[in-house]
Amino acid sequence: GAGVSQSPSNKVTEKGKDVELRCDPISGHTALYWYRQRLGQGLEFLIYFQGNSAPDKSGLPSDRFSAERTGESVSTLTIQRTQQEDSAVYLCASSLGSSGSLGEQFFGPGTRLTVL
C-alpha cells in the first residue's frame, strides 16, 4: 500500500538493551514526525524532520533517544539502554510539509515497545 509503514509492529526487549524502530513515510512527503503514546496518555511529540533542514529534536526525552532520516525517505528512531518507562507505542507520521499543504499528517500503525 501507499501508506506509512512501521516496523516492527511489536518489540519486547530487556531493560538496558538498545532498540531501533523504523518508519517508511509516504513517498514524496518531506515532513516526518515521531510521537510516543504511553498507556492512557496522549501523543507526545518526539522529533520532526523537514526536508534537508536540521531536525526539531525538542521533544526527545533524554539523550538515550536519537533519530535519523535518510533524505526524504526512511527514518529510524533509536533508544539506547532502554528503561521500563520507555514502554509505549511509537507512532510515525508523514506529511507533504509544504506551505501550500499545511494540514493532514498520515500516521503509521505504530510500534508497541515493551521493556521488561
Partner 1 sequence: DQQVKQNSPSLSVQEGRISILNCDYTNSMFDYFLWYKKYPAEGPTFLISISSIKDKNEDGRFTVFLNKSAKHLSLHIVPSQPGDSAVYFCAASSTTSGTYKYIFGTGTRLKVLA
Stretch that binds partner 1, among 14-22, 41-49, 71-79, 80-88 (CB under 8 A): 41-49
Query: Under the criterion CB under 8 A, does residue 110 sit at the interface with partner 1?
Result: yes
Closer to partner 1 by CB, 74 or 80: give it: 74
The C-alpha atoms of residue 73 and residue 94 are separated, in whole angstroms, by 10
Question: Is residue 56 part of the contact set for partner 1 (CB under 8 A)?
Answer: yes
Residues 6+ apart with CB under 8 A from 89: 36, 37, 110, 111, 112, 113
How many chain residues bind partner 1 (CB under 8 A)?
25
- Which distant-in-sequence residues (6+ apart) come within 8 Å of 38 by Cβ? 44, 87, 88
Q: Segment near partner 1 (CB under 8 A), from 11-19, 65-73, 78-86, 108-116?
A: 108-116
Nearer to partner 1, 19 or 91 (CB): 91
Instruction: State yes or no: residue 91 binds partner 1 (CB under 8 A).
Output: yes
Using CB under 8 A as the binding rule, whether residue 102 contacts partner 1 is answered as: yes
The residue ranges that bind partner 1 (CB under 8 A) are: 4, 31, 33, 35, 41-45, 48, 50, 56, 91, 93, 95, 97, 102-110
